Amino acid sequence: MRIKKVAFWDYLREWRFEPIYFSNLALLVGVSGVGKTQILKGILNLQRIANGASLNGLAWDVTFSTVNNVEYRWQGEFETQKVPAIIPTEEDEINKFRIVREHLSREGNVIIERSNNEIKFKGETTPKLSPFQSAVEI
């Protein structure tokens, strides 16, 4: 897999990095404090989300290609909770945050569209899935 473009927002900590475009060779160079480590942490958080992590206040937009040069775009956002829920509801889990939107496309064709209300896989509404896990992980 090769990342072509990535943007990342952390609404809880109120920081973001705008789209960064990567070529075949990419170097992160800059003086201390300009965000090199934050970019790497953002990419690592995408890996965590794809593996099932639920991260408070994070949003992402990444375009990547496979070894066969098939291009995918994956976008999503978790809810932001400034103060954790005092009395969790039946669906809540401790330290888990709901996905409020998610979108995955392949070569511009939509595979998954997710909102607060429903998840569509190739245009068809799916049964209710975990609100805390990315559809990519599921």
pLDDT recorded at residue 27:
80
pLDDT recorded at residue 87:
57
pLDDT in tens, 45-94: 999 999 999 999 999 999 999 999 999 999 999 999 886 555 555 555 56
pLDDT in tens, 89-122: 555 556 789 999 999 999 999 999 999 889 999 9
pLDDT recorded at residue 90:
53
pLDDT recorded at residue 64:
95
Q: What is the pTM of this model?
A: 0.86
Q: Which H, E and C letters describe the chain, residue by residue?
A: CEEEEEEEEECCCCEEEEEEECCCCCCCCCCCCCCHHHHHHHHHHHHHHHCCCCCCCEEEEEEEECCCCCEEEEEEEECCCCCCCCCCCCCCCCCCCCEEEEEEEECCEEEEEECCCCEEECCEECCCCCCCCCCCCC
Find residue 82's DSSP bridge partners.
none
pLDDT recorded at residue 26:
75
